[in-house]
A and B are shown apart, each in its own frame.
Chain A
């Protein structure tokens, strides 16, 4: 494994990538002719089937951090990388049990619809938009930075050109095709990613008579039994638990995931789609066990780190070892498609927060003409796309997986507690919701700034004010406590509980 084609323009990768762009732009053209109203733009006319939405949820969720990042972590650290594989799945049952059905029955386009339902619109919408935009923008930066680095390695383009291409394609999908195009881009991407990862895992396992234990055993023989056990990545137990909380509860607060539940016809379809998504995502994370240890055995941690310090090229290098340059090209194009699809979903949910929550409901008291709202949503899409490109270039070289885990921490502390309390607790008040959401978002951002990662690793100070890398352990419980205490201190809001109760379980339309 001394030579690799990574770093040189790869014609197969470019070919597959152009094919993906052509197919997705074709989908966008088809979807654009069906996107006439806000209900189409934000929610694909609520026509997506549970199976389709299951694939689209999986597509929205399996970002480059999961595919490249986890394979890289497992291949260089062994067992420690698997902590991420499990952590990124266990949020899905929580979404299913607590959030999916009430969200679909109570809301229209954004999760703020549910939080604001029986509270004062303007303050709740503004606070929810702050949480949404903080999550979306951090997540967008991580994906853009990942895309820039990947394309530079695979296609020989400059980092900046790569970012601009991603931004332009993503704006085109969302601007013209809205949720319908974004959903189908996710479905195509999820199928490609699962197919590519499955093929790669099969090729690895074929060398071990299709026995994963033999693969793990080979890794232990080559690099010591320690690779199969928890290691130094989890040296601080509280850090591990904090990260676990962010991953588990963050999923239930990710705006682009929550928005997907409005694309299906009813609560039953929302429920079923989570079951499909959990199966697809779980299967994918089980494959990362095989891909990671496969890359460790066949490519080797040193060769992987020589190409990219973070280990992100483990899966592409493994593909090159097993299938030569053409397979490398295919896997690279899949990774790129993965990023492109995720940024499209993120941008759409950010645009919905700007137009539906801020512009229509906070600034115009919900009284805006649908065509006008559509214009604002499209303008917001372009603005967010440009912001993503500019920030992607500004944050060149930052650690991608870390930024994604921070986006999860904000989603888990800023969005999730208020959403859950608005569903479960009738005494939740406007002041309680606003203070919980603003505290969760701002405290998370502040503690991240004071954490060792920023203070020690980036600013090169000797100590950090806050000991944990991820603040979720502290900020999630505090967001709940603040929401409860502020609500109990204030006056009890009178609400039509009966109507609300019926709607939460039966939906808006009977039958």
Chain B
């Protein structure tokens, strides 16, 4: 790969960074919606959470466990994306930039 000019490198970093922030903010919004949706149900619709989905398991208990499991799956999704797409792109960008690392 021919070396990038510092202007090209900055432009590419900008695109890459914007992409990471977009994904991070979307995932954060999803997390907030899931958790506060759960809290809102507890606060305002208790009869719904009391519905039995199986003997011994109310919808409330099922959703509570799901909030925990889904939170973890979201972190898995992000880490997978960042490790397989974001990091290699960053490394390629950094390696192709003259003067890389002198930005400290």
Contacts and interface: CB of A to CB of B under 8 A. Distances in A.
A278 B27 CA distance: 15
Interface string A73-115: 0000001001101110110111011100000000000000000
A289 B95 contact: no
B75 A248 contact: no
Interface string B93-104: 011000011011
Nearest to A239: B43
A97 B29 CA distance: 10
Contacts of A240: 39, 42-43
Contact of A505 (B17, B49, B56, B79): B17
A86 B76 CA distance: 18
Contacts of B46: 229-230
A220 B67 contact: no
B57 A502 contact: no
Contacts of A97: 24-25, 27-28, 31, 78
Contacts, number: 167
A271 B76 CA distance: 10
Interface string B30-66: 0110111011101110100110001111101100110
Contacts of B49: 229-230
Nearest to A220: B56
Contacts of A229: 46, 49-50, 58, 60
Contact of A228 (B10, B20, B61, B94): B61
Interface string A224-252: 01001110001001101100100010000
B90 to A, nearest CB: 6
B4 interface: no
Interface residues of B, number: 55
A96 B74 CA distance: 10
Interface string B80-96: 00110001001100110
Contacts of A508: 101, 104
A279 B21 CA distance: 23
Size bin of chain A's contact surface: 35 or more
A268 B50 contact: no
B83 A268 contact: yes
Interface in A263-315: 268, 271-272, 274-275, 278-279, 282, 285-286, 289
Given A241-B43, A244-B35, A505-B90, A499 B103 contact: yes
Contact of A79 (B17, B39, B60): B60
Nearest to B87: A268
Nearest to A502: B103
A6 B71 CA distance: 37
A178 to B, nearest CB: 25
A278 B72 contact: yes
Contact of A275 (B31, B57, B68, B79): B79
Contacts of A461: none
B13 A282 contact: no
Nearest to A497: B10
Contacts of B36: 241, 244
A213 B100 CA distance: 57
A237 B40 CA distance: 8
Contacts of A268: 82-83, 87
A499 B101 CA distance: 10
Interface string A471-511: 00000000000000000000000000011011111101111
B1 interface: no
Contact of A213 (B14, B55, B67, B71): B55
Contact of A234 (B31, B42, B90): B42
Contacts of A289: 61, 64-65
Interface of B: 10, 13-14, 16-17, 20-21, 24-25, 27-28, 31-32, 34-36, 38-40, 42-44, 46, 49-50, 54-58, 60-61, 64-65, 67-69, 71-72, 74-76, 78-79, 82-83, 87, 90-91, 94-95, 100-101, 103-104
Given A285-B68, A511-B101, 4 more contacts: A93-B28, A97-B27, A213-B54, A229-B49
Interface of A: 79, 82-83, 85-87, 89-90, 92-94, 96-98, 212-218, 220, 225, 228-230, 234, 237-238, 240-241, 244, 248, 268, 271-272, 274-275, 278-279, 282, 285-286, 289, 424, 498-499, 501-506, 508-511
The 5 closest A-B pairs by CB, nearest first: A217-B56, A510-B101, A237-B43, A213-B56, A97-B24
